[in-house]
């Protein structure tokens, strides 16, 4: 009996010195009947892409790598050529050319989740979690954004937009993802940042106008906030103060299930606070349009000092719509505290009411998705926002994948984890300045105060999570290659930890899990 393609791959894997990631196997046949077979494989020098095709297969030329002829059985591959290709940026671009499903695209209004990956190693674990959650009784699909990173994160992790997208592409292939994907260029502030991410092939552009939000307008007296309104860039806004008042002052707006009343003061304060931010969004959106690529826009005003009121949300969305801006999701600054790496801090019934109001505005002025930023580990919030939005929601996570990587390292290499912890404790005071966190380093145990078996549990402690979370850039600059080497040597443990962690993140958005109205949360008193 002749050799089958499966047995051939096993034999080939043995000859090449490493296992095949079997779920990555793809067999592509074009209209002329030419067949291209590709798969991911581990070799002694790291992960590689194997690409096999006949001598007349033009797609082989897309990739660079070592070429050898294939002989013997099975007959279906005899006479083919095998190209063993490094998993680099250039080959990831070639891969997306032959497998368009891996090319990021706009995802529309389906519920979605962004999986930030600061190490470039986490995507297979994210894919496993999403595969598991979408099995069986899931009633809502969840579209993934495996490549998601802000310019700030790229700088701190010393990665380029091309590398971020490349790592996500290889991880998605390795784990067998075959659905659509997006790619989020997160927290963009300048046209130059947009250009860099557009050239790489990102599909979602999250505009962060936070530095243009004037939170002082919340506390200003009428003379001050009126003068702030007069000084807005009305040429960009294509309007005037009198038109602003005509549109919003002392109006009642129908939100379907309730009404929203905006007073003259509300209108002026909203414009004073957010008018320059709206103008900045407009300018960056116009720049994106000129690039001429398919894209989606997310508006992010979450990293501000004060919450976004419903009147302010209505003002921002209504003004953007008036100016011809199209966006798929918007991230207000919700009430309470959304700190990095920990659950919601605040009054959950108050948050539930706040979410319902924002969701109603998103339905009436869109529809568009509400986006939950600093969304990692907000387990008490997920059922509330999933219910309020009826699935019109985007979840954005980032640092929690890094924390799960550290949990794995604490279990497999406690000596090294102690070094990381000591380094993080030393750098926290400086690194925390650009984050909304309240951890105190003196509440984080000394590295030598814990037994080895207790080290992974440190990743469940409020202060330790935040100290480790915000110091990732310093840690990677100091010991990034060593940290990644430990995870590569313990790949299965790393993927399993991520899968378990992200199943918990995703299930409330899939329509599967029954839940009480207000699950237990880490309150303010617990974090002090």
What residues are annotated to the active site? 186, 298
CA distances from 152 to 148, 185, 299 (A): 12, 11, 17
DSSP 3-state assignment of 55? coil
Euclidean distance between CA atoms 182 and 103, whole angstroms: 8
CB-based contact 288:297 (threshold 8 Å): yes
Partners of 113 in beta bridges: 144, 395
Euclidean distance between CA atoms 215 and 495, whole angstroms: 41
Q: What is the DSSP letter of 122?
A: -
- Per-residue burial over 448-458, b = 16 or more CB atoms within 10 Å of its CB, e = otherwise: eebeeeebbeb
Interstrand relation of 296-300 and 46-53 (parallel, antiparallel or unpaired): unpaired
CA distances from 83 to 60, 100, 226, 442, 521 (A): 8, 20, 67, 54, 52
At 146, which helix (H) or strand (E)? strand 143-150
Euclidean distance between CA atoms 272 and 227, whole angstroms: 8
Euclidean distance between CA atoms 147 and 183, whole angstroms: 5
Phi, psi of 246 (to 5 degrees): -60, -35
At 369, which helix (H) or strand (E)? strand 369-372
> Cβ neighbours of residue 51 under 8 Å, at least 6 residues apart?
36, 37, 38, 59, 60, 63, 65, 82, 83, 85
Euclidean distance between CA atoms 378 and 103, whole angstroms: 30
Euclidean distance between CA atoms 420 and 483, whole angstroms: 9
């Amino acid at each position: 009996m002749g050799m089958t393609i499966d047995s051939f791959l096993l034999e080939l894997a043995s000859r090449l010195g490493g296992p095949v990631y079997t779920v990555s196997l793809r067999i592509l046949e074009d209209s002329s009947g030419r067949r291209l077979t590709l798969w991911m494989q581990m070799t002694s020098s790291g992960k590689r892409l194997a690409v096999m095709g006949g001598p007349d297969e033009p797609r082989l030329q897309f990739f660079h790598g070592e070429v050898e002829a294939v002989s013997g059985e099975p007959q279906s591959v005899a006479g083919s050529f095998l190209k063993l290709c490094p998993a680099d940026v250039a080959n990831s671009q070639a891969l997306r050319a032959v497998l368009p499903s891996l090319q990021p695209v706009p995802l529309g209004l389906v519920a979605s989740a962004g999986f930030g990956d600061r190490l470039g190693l986490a995507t297979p674990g994210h894919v496993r979690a999403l595969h598991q959650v979408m099995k069986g009784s899931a009633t809502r699909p969840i579209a993934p954004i495996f490549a998601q990173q802000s310019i700030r994160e790229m700088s701190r992790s010393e990665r380029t937009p091309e590398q971020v997208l490349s790592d996500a592409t290889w991880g998605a292939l390795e784990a067998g993802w075959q659905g659509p994907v997006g790619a989020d260029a997160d927290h963009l502030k300048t046209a130059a940042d947009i250009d860099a991410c557009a050239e790489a092939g990102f599909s979602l552009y999250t505009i962060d106008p936070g530095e243009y939000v004037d939170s002082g307008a919340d506390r200003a007296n009428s003379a001050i906030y009126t003068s702030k309104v007069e000084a807005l860039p009305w040429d960009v806004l294509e309007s005037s103060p009198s038109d602003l008042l005509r549109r919003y002052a002392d109006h009642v707006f129908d939100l379907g299930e309730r009404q929203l009343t905006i007073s003259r003061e509300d209108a002026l304060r909203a414009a004073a606070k957010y008018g320059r931010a709206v103008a900045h969004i407009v300018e960056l959106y116009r720049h994106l349009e000129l690039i001429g690529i398919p894209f989606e826009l997310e508006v992010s005003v979450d990293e501000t000092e004060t919450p976004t009121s419903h009147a302010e949300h209505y003002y921002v969305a209504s003004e953007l719509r008036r100016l011809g801006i199209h966006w798929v999701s918007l991230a207000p600054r919700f009430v309470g505290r959304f700190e990095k790496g920990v659950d919601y801090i605040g009054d959950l019934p108050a948050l539930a009411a706040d979410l319902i109001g924002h969701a109603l505005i998103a339905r009436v002025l869109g529809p568009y998705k509400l986006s939950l930023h600093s969304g990692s580990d907000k387990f008490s919030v997920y059922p509330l926002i999933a219910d309020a939005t009826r699935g019109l929601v985007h979840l954005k996570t980032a640092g929690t994948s890094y924390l799960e990587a550290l949990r794995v390292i604490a279990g497999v290499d406690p000596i090294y984890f102690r070094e990381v912890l000591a380094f993080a404790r030393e750098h926290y005071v400086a690194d925390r300045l650009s984050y909304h966190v309240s951890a105190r380093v003196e509440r984080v145990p000394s590295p030598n105060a814990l037994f080895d078996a207790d080290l992974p549990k440190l990743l469940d402690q409020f202060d330790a999570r935040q100290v480790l979370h915000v110091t990732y850039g310093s840690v990677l600059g100091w010991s990034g290659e060593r940290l990644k080497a430990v995870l590569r040597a313990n790949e299965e443990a790393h993927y399993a930890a991520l899968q378990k962690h992200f199943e918990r993140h995703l299930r409330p958005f899939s329509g599967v899990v029954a839940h009480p109205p207000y699950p237990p949360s880490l309150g303010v008193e617990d974090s002090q």
